[in-house]
Structure 1
Amino acid sequence: MFRVALRKKVTISRAPVVSPSFKMGFSSQTARLEGKVALITGAASGIGKATASKFISNGAKVVIADIQQQLGQVTANELGPNATFIACDVSKESDISNAVDFTISKHSQLDIMYANAGVACNTPPSIVDLDLAVFDRVMNINVRGVVAGMKHASRVMIPRKTGSILCTASVTGLMGGLAQHTYSVSKFAVIGIVKSLAAELSKHGIRVNCVSPFAIPTPFVLEEMSRIFPGVDIQRLIEITQNAGVLEGTNCEPNDIANAALYLASDDAKYVSGHNLVIDGGFTSFKTLEFPAPDQVH
């Protein structure tokens, strides 16, 4: 570690001086994305909406891109004048290209691209019964849609030599057995894509990162849970989802992911790239052997 030489204390009667670094830190905490423009896919609800709200409250202008046109417009209206909606189906490259072009035409810049849109997969649990048509559809959205977002964000960021690209991966892309094969494979791919693109885009000053959330009872997750547990009421599904966590006393919420995205998009993470920020309360960090207590063994 670096050492800092200590100087003899000298008492001087003068007004305290606030260092530039302190001012910078204070400013970044109150408006960490001031002057920035972000495009977020899948931002009509859930994690995307929470992140859009967080970005706006930190000074950014946000373009919400979502396939849900009515809900997307409602969300943009709810978030205020710094939010704009554009219809976007991420499985269509032309829609993503149009969303990027729309952002540039409206704001003259794109600083943050957050490829967040994705779908769950309703497929049988066994590889033997895998429907490859469903596999292709999920990969088309969860993987190809992410790559297309990165591609078109890069074409406007590279000339400016700056930018931050984010993606939503998942804890299901870190460990096997946490989701159906198709979804898990798609999220493993997203984490790999981030590392691959970070290798190229670093020389252009563009950072590429992703977040891997634990299960959160968003509409996205609850819809999938309702298929697994048909007839079970929503409150019980929320409890089941939250009880799967390991960190006692708290639950993973959309705002936790929004805070992580805010950090990665901001200058606070100016030297962070190729990173997968896992927000899981330690779930993927350990396993316990579940040995019986000594007094229970005879």
Structure 2
Amino acid sequence: MSGELSGKVAIVTGGASGIGKGIVDKFLAEGAKVVIADVQDDLGTAVAATGGVDAYFHHTDVGDQAQIGELVAAAVEKFGGLHVMVNNAGRSSPLKKGLFDEDFAEFDSVMRINVLGVMVGTRDSARHMAKHGGGSIINISSIGGVQPGGGVTSYRASKAAVIHFSKSAAIELAKFEVRVNCIAPGNIPTPLLQTAAADQDRERLEKFEARIRQQMRDDRPLKREGTPDDVAEAVLYYAGDRSRYVTGTVLPVDGGTAAGKVMPPRKPTLEAVPE
């Protein structure tokens, strides 16, 4: 590793599992001191223990504004500053048969965690960064916020809101040398998809997930599977000095899915291959 984040302090919300843990691992490997924020105490404590003295777990519900303020204060107290904020924590909305069957019972929870949590995390971390030479804020959206589609409507709306908010914040905070960028992962195997169908029995859930995963593969131009580490590499770019002139951007990390549909397969012929 290059030590790209040596001397930097970072917070990763939702850092106990999935994409968040991949980011935590990447940051620690690159020399950062990392505060892992999550509601999963056992997992968060275990990740912090693996990270040693450079990792610290702080229980945080990002749907609670006060807890986010306490998180930022804890990072500054523990490690002496804050240079990178990754607003990654999120949840899905239930998958219904169609919009007519949607009761939006989980709407408030989805928006509070996915949107308000990002907004407050951006605000509170920027308050510190603006007084201490700037910093980098990376908000995790989804290709569901870039590319329209049926199902999980509250989730898609929340992730689209994250993108628009991030661009707006980037404009306002640029004068303080605080950069705000957004990453839109897609087709990354994490437990998030299962939460969209949590009301189904185990066998139906496994069939559902297998069907959705196969559909994602069919729609993805790149046929290799995406991993949390692929997202973490993109986050590392935004967190470090290589992106010091980059703000207000949205980077899909999705194997090309948001670029467009894959062409129908044709029988390969040697004549079709250019010399």
- Report the TM-score, using the length of structure 1 for normalisation: 0.82
Partner of 1:279: 253
Partner of 2:272: none
Whether contact under 8 Å (1:50, 1:255) holds in the other structure is yes
State which drifts further: 248-257 or 227-236: 227-236
Deviation, structure 1 residue 244: 1.5
| Candidates 106, 118, 121, aligned match of 1:149 | 121
Equivalent-residue separation in structure 2 for 1:239 and 1:230 (angstroms)? 14
Deviation, structure 1 residue 288: 5.5
CA RMSD of aligned residues (A): 2.4
Structure 1 position 117 matched with structure 2 position 92: no
Partner of 2:232: 258
Runs of 4 or more, structure 1, over 6 Å off, are none
Partner amino acid, structure 1, of 2:19: I
Partner of 1:172: 144
- Structure 1 residues 58-73: aligned runs within 5 Å: 58-73=30-45
Partner amino acid, structure 1, of 2:16: A
Identity of aligned pairs, percent? Answer: 38
Whether contact under 8 Å (1:164, 1:207) holds in the other structure is yes
Query: Which structure 2 segments of 5+ residues have no match?
Result: 268-275
Partner of 2:75: 103
- Structure 1 residues 27-106: aligned runs within 5 Å: 30-106=2-78
Deviation, structure 1 residue 128: 3.2
Change (3 A) 1:175 1:291: same
Equivalent-residue separation in structure 2 for 1:247 and 1:286 (angstroms)? 8
Partner of 2:159: 187
Deviation, structure 1 residue 129: 3.3
Partner amino acid, structure 2, of 1:277: L
- Report the TM-score, using the length of structure 2 for normalisation: 0.88
Query: Which structure 1 segments of 5+ residues have no match?
Result: 1-28, 294-298
Deviation, structure 1 residue 241: 1.7
Q: Which structure is larger by alpha-carbon Rg, 1 or 2?
A: 1
Q: Deviations over 1:141-183 (max 9, x none)?
A: 1000110101110110111131000111000001111541100
Work out the number of aligned pairs and report it.
265
Whether contact under 8 Å (1:123, 1:134) holds in the other structure is no
